[in-house]
Amino acid sequence: MTDHAAIAPSEARTLRSYVYDPKIRGIFFQVLTLVIVVGVGWWIFDNTVANLARSGTASGYQFLKGRAGFDIGASLIEYSSDSTYGRAILVGFLNTILVAFFGIITATAIGFIIGIGRLSKNWLIAKLCTVYVEVFRNIPVLLIIFFWYKGVLSSLPQVRDSVKLPLGMVLNNRGLAFPKPVWGDAAWVIPVALLIAVVAAFIVARWAKQRQMRTGQQFHTIWTVTGLIIGLPVLAFLAVGAPLTFDFPIAGRFNLSGGSVIAPEFVALYLALSFYTASFIAETIRAGIRAVAKGQSEAAAALGLQPSTTTRLVIVPQAMRVIIPPLTSQYLNLTKNSSLGIAVGFPELVATGGTTMNQTGQAIEVVSIWLVVYLSISITTSLFMNWFNAKMALVER
Amino acid sequence: MNTKNVAYVRQEMIGPTPAPLNTRSASGWIRTNLLATPKDALLTILAVAVLVWALPGMINWLFVQAAWFGTDRTFCTTAVQGGIKPNGWSGACWAFVGDRFQQFMFGRYPIDERWRPMLVAILFIALLVPILMPKLPRKGLNALLLFVGLPIVAFFLLHGGVFGLQKVETPLWGGLMVTLILSFVGIAVSLPVGILLALGRRSTMPVIRVICVTFIEVIRGVPLITVLFMANVMLPLFLPTGWTIDNFLRALVGVAIFASAYMAEVVRGGLQAIPKGQFEGADSLGLSYWQKIRLIIMPQALKLVIPGIVNTFIGLFKDTSLVSIIGMFDLLGIVQLNFTDTTWISPVTPITGLIFAGFIFWLFCFGMSRYSAFMERHLDTNLKR
């Protein structure tokens, strides 16, 4: 260290003092580690190059432009077996995002209910919620996926015995078919109206808050904003003459025609991920609410706040600070667990990538795509949540 | 002063008055815990309705209607499906689980050699139980036997090929045995590696810190299944031409790498919770870095994160089920393999098998979480403010 020299500036240093100098030791160990890591890395690289050359696999991402030649059951974008591998992987990525998005919403909803339920003073409710958490937390998510897929959804009737549900929906072992909305020419007005409504809602909310800060008068922001966001698109829809028809699904003898179909694979994965992650989210919520000191709710009561206002303005904002970081990691876990769709044949990123890998033999390239995509999702979510967390964090003087 | 003769002073204590009726009677308990407010009453009624709707059906399906005994699928199928049950029957097919129980435990391990995994299991329990009981002495020796001795003995016993034991290749291993081996090795490797990675991440040496952070974040950022695929398809590519690496070993490497990264983050949480004074105190005593870590920091840090460590173990135990996707037959894999077996194929077989596998997983995980709660209480030194 630097103060070492300050103590004995003039003395000539012995070899022994160099050996025991923490700075020199540090440099030595770092160089040693670097040499080992680079050495092993080079060895691996060398072996890989030799192995690839022997098996005649061309490295690089050229294969992404090749014809995929396999079909994908569920796709958000146009895809056929003539499409490229790159497009197949893109389809998988979009499916991953789709199931993660709906899974996160459902898991959060169930998790909140169960987490608050476990804190309920009602003995029966608290016990039921505890049973839910203890059951789902201690079973592999893969098993829950299979449970839904093999156990529940495969016992649905065949196409010719389809169950007819209200609103033109049809349920059978091919999945849940529902009427597909077909938009008319003037339909572009609706998203535009929605956009205007959102912008207007923001302005109203800001104005209401500023007015409350200035004068203390409250404004029913929630109702106004809800009315705007729902009402304006509906008005626009009616104004251009309701340009919407439905394509109803028809159950034939062996096959469904028309409509949109939610595949059972998607449902199994979505339900399993939601139920499984909800048990963890419930624990997070419970811990967060319990972390708010009892004095806070007592002080709020002493100020004369009503229980609902206390929850909204005192308990939840403080609990959120504890809840957000673990909640983020649960969301990421759900997204990563969506890769288990491969087990039931839901074409998400790992499934389509795996098929590509089997057909082309481009293992390193496909794995690198997986790494990049999942790491980007993780990092993006972390950044967003860090920003959100910083916004929510306690401002201390 | 003599108070004994004073008439107005009581000579004996009054017996304690029983608690008010509304706190000790059943009706009082119901009123406070189930029907406190109208909202509570409504919720209770809803919950009871759900229970009344769901429970009898479940019990009926799982136990009353269940086929407990049988030798093939006819015992679990209705007349239409070619079985002996009346049409419209549905119930759990426990006969299937009973018939295939040995397979669920050992996979396709040769029947004559199954005493070997049994012996390993007995040794494992004999070494595990004393280490879990805080009162018993010689923890160091016990841990050495469990984490170093047992794996070596178990390898030779299970794999064979020496001492006149028949060689049993790993593709024949399966069932709960594989699940337990994978998780045990994962646990035994991830704890020391995780501690090293966590120390590396907190190190002042930039090169070591960057390497550790990269490793931890990359592995934690991707799903386990991609790590398993990586181990499965890329490990053979990384090794010199001609080296082969057993499939089972690949899965072990994948699981161990994955668990280590998660363990590192848990341990880091513990390290960060140790006050700076502890590090400085150790330094001022003249302890070396490793003495400081071993004697001062780790005992405190690990104790703080016991719940996190056990949660990682539980997660690892559950995650081993993913090896069934890369073609290994762990408990879940072997149960699934049996779904396609024509001897037992029936509409209720899959769900019965899954319920059984789920129950086994649940038993282990729930046991671990209970034990962690017990250790937390046991190690609590009551220093919390």
In the stretch 267-286 of chain B, residues with CB closer than 8 A to chain A read none
- Maximum Cα–Cα distance for chain A, whole Å? 98
φ, ψ for residue B226, nearest 5 deg: -70, -35
pLDDT of residue A277: 95
Distances (CA, A) of B54 to A282, B50, B58: 22, 6, 6
Amino acid at A324: I
A contacts of B239 (beta carbons < 8 Å): 47
**CA B370 remoteness from chain centre:** 10
* CATH number assigned to the domain covering A85-179+248-392: 1.10.3720.10
Residue A87, token pair as written in the block? 């497009």
What tens digit of pLDDT does each residue of A148-203 get?
888 777 777 777 777 777 777 777 777 777 777 777 777 788 888 889 889 998 99
- The whole-angstrom distance between B321's CA and the closest CA on chain A is 7
A-to-B residue pairs, Cβ atoms closer than 8 angstroms:
156
Contact between residue B258 and residue B313 where contact means Cβ atoms under 8 Å apart: no
What tens digit of pLDDT does each residue of A312-370 get?
888 888 888 888 888 888 999 999 999 998 888 888 899 888 888 888 878 888 888 99
Quickly count: other Cβ atoms within 10 Å of residue B234's Cβ: 16
* CATH number assigned to the domain covering B98-109+168-379: 1.10.3720.10
pLDDT of residue A299: 93
Report the b/e string of B187-197 with b at 16+ CB within 10 A. Answer: bbbbbebbbeb
Strands A256-257 and A250-251: antiparallel
Closest partner CB to B211 (pick from A37, A354, A364): A37
* Separation CA A95–CA A110 (nearest Å): 22
Contact between residue A232 and residue A191 where contact means Cβ atoms under 8 Å apart: no
pLDDT of residue A283: 92
A contacts of B222 (beta carbons < 8 Å): 336, 370-371, 374-375
Closest partner CB to B222 (pick from A33, A146, A371): A371
* Separation CA B44–CA B50 (nearest Å): 10
pLDDT of residue A133: 93
**Mean predicted confidence (pLDDT) in B57-79:** 83
pLDDT tier for residue B155 given thresholds of 50, 70 and 90: confident
pLDDT of residue B351: 87
- The whole-angstrom distance between A387's CA and the closest CA on chain B is 19
Tell me which chain B residue has its CA closest to the CA of residue A47: B240
User: Is pLDDT above 80 for B294?
Assistant: yes
Kindly state the percentage of chain A with pLDDT values over 70: 94
What tens digit of pLDDT does each residue of B200-213 get?
988 888 888 999 98
**Mean predicted confidence (pLDDT) in B289-298:** 91
CB contact under 8 Å between A47 and B223, yes or no, is: no
Q: Which of A49-63, A108-122, B251-265, B322-336 has the lowest mean pLDDT?
A: A49-63
- The whole-angstrom distance between A122's CA and the closest CA on chain B is 5
User: Is pLDDT above 90 for A131?
Assistant: yes
Average pLDDT, rounded, for chain B: 85
Tell me, what DSSP letter sits at residue A153?
A: G
Quickly count: other Cβ atoms within 10 Å of residue A322's Cβ: 17
Q: Which helix (H) or strand (E) holds A183?
A: strand A180-183
* Separation CA B258–CA B182 (nearest Å): 12
Average pLDDT, rounded, for chain A: 83
Kindly state the percentage of chain A with pLDDT values over 90: 23
- Residue ranges of domains in chain A: 2-55, 85-179+248-392
φ, ψ for residue A242, nearest 5 deg: 45, 70
Contact between residue B301 and residue B279 where contact means Cβ atoms under 8 Å apart: no
- The whole-angstrom distance between B353's CA and the closest CA on chain A is 10
pLDDT of residue A2: 47
- The whole-angstrom distance between B296's CA and the closest CA on chain A is 20
| Cβ of residue B373 closer than 8 Å to a chain A Cβ | no
pLDDT tier for residue A5 given thresholds of 50, 70 and 90: very low
Distances (CA, A) of A369 to A9, A213, A361, B191, B223: 56, 50, 14, 30, 13
Residues 6+ apart with CB under 8 A from B30: none
| Cβ of residue B244 closer than 8 Å to a chain A Cβ | no
Residue A38, token pair as written in the block? 């680079």
CB contact under 8 Å between A125 and B207, yes or no, is: no
A contacts of B44 (beta carbons < 8 Å): 122, 124-125
CB contact under 8 Å between A123 and B325, yes or no, is: no
Residue B197, token pair as written in the block? 């990675």
User: Which of left, alpha, beta for A163 (phi over 0: left; psi -120 to 50: alpha)?
Assistant: beta
- The whole-angstrom distance between B47's CA and the closest CA on chain A is 7
pLDDT of residue B361: 93
Residue B104, token pair as written in the block? 């669920």
CB contact under 8 Å between A367 and B43, yes or no, is: no
CB contact under 8 Å between A30 and B207, yes or no, is: yes
- Complex ipTM: 0.86
CB contact under 8 Å between A47 and B241, yes or no, is: yes
User: Is pLDDT above 60 for B188?
Assistant: yes
Nearest to B223 by CA among B254, B180, B187, B263: B254
pLDDT tier for residue A256 given thresholds of 50, 70 and 90: low
User: Is pLDDT above 70 for B385?
Assistant: no
